[in-house]
Amino acid sequence: MPESPSRAIIQRLTFEEALTGLLGMLDRAVRVSAFITDRGVMVCRFRGRLHQGRDLTASEQGRESGEEEFFYFWTAEDGGAGFFLAERDFVTAGWNADRTVLAVRLGPVTLMVEPDEEAL
């Protein structure tokens, strides 16, 4: 996946830091692009205000030791376009130089979440 200088990732993040970055984008107009990481092929793109969906994690009482949390984010008003963030699938994440583009690699897919300039 070719990276323009404005999108080049310069700061690596932990899972918790990536989650914090996404939470900081809530209720903002964003564009989310998903790429097959090894091939740089875009598989989908969606846009809209970023929302956090319902918590899909089992309650503390119902969660087994070592079971991980799942976070759902969506953009379409009907909740039909979105993505899951799960620590078990997390590989790496990072910000670009001006902290406007957050790249999150989950298994073989990299999500690029950035402000939707056309909506601003």
pLDDT digits (tens, 9 = 90+) for 77-93: 666 788 989 998 999 99
85 and 21 Cβ atoms separated by less than 8 Å? no
Distance from C-alpha of 84 to C-alpha of 97, rounded to nearest angstrom: 25
Query: What's the mean pLDDT when you consider all of the chain?
Result: 82
Rounded average pLDDT over 9-13:
80
More confident residue, 119 or 105: 105
What residue ranges in 1-120 does DSSP mark as E strands?
9-13, 29-36, 41-49, 51-52, 70-74, 82-86, 90-96, 102-106, 109-115
pLDDT digits (tens, 9 = 90+) for 16-39: 999 999 999 999 999 999 999 888
Does pTM surpass 0.85? no
Distance from C-alpha of 34 to C-alpha of 43, rounded to nearest angstrom: 6
From the number of C-beta atoms within 10 Å of its C-beta (0-12, 13-18, 19+), residue 110 rates as buried
Is residue 59 scored above 90 in pLDDT? no
Question: Which domains are assigned to the chain?
Answer: 9-56+68-119 (2.30.29)
Give the pLDDT score at 60. 52
Is residue 63 scored above 50 in pLDDT? no
